[in-house]
Amino acid sequence: MHREVVHARGHDNVSAAHASTFEVTTDDYLTPAGDCILAVEADRAPVDFDEAFVAAASDADATIIATLEADGHEHTVTGRGDPELTFASERSMVGRTSTYVDDRTVMLDAEQAAEGFDRNLVAALADGVEATFTLTIE
């Protein structure tokens, strides 16, 4: 099993309304238009992930599990890896319900996007609480 843990925090503009993606970013700001972003100020980006994790995630049969925890709330989304994933982004990690790949993509065919995240978790993130984003490959 491979795991990457990222520490971030919520922001008062977290709305988690996006229908096809969810995102955690190293950026320290969030505009209301960023309705896929769940947390900001991430302490790591995909480019920082361990080579073994990236290799495991590039298997089309890999199951990737994203877990976001904040203020006693937790939400998990399952998706898959792909040989096209590069983990080259120095800014953001994006889970996608689609099969679109760019350097920010960390998961394809996610079972849900930002709009599907637990609303109590989203409310806590909108209060700016500390958050932990964990990616696990099974």
CATH number of the domain encompassing residue 92: 2.60.120.630
Q: What is the mean pLDDT of residues 28-48?
A: 97
CA angle 56, 70, 112 (to 5 degrees): 55
Q: What is the mean pLDDT of residues 124-129?
A: 98
Q: What is the pLDDT of residue 112?
A: 97
Q: What is the pLDDT of residue 24?
A: 98
Q: What is the pLDDT of residue 22?
A: 98
Q: Give 66's strand partners.
A: 77, 135
What residue numbers bound the domain in which 89 lies? 2-137
Number of structural domains found in the chain: 1
Report residue 121 CA to chain centroid gap. 14
Look up residue 135 and give its two tokens.
């990616």
- Determine the residue type at 71: D
Prediction pTM value: 0.97
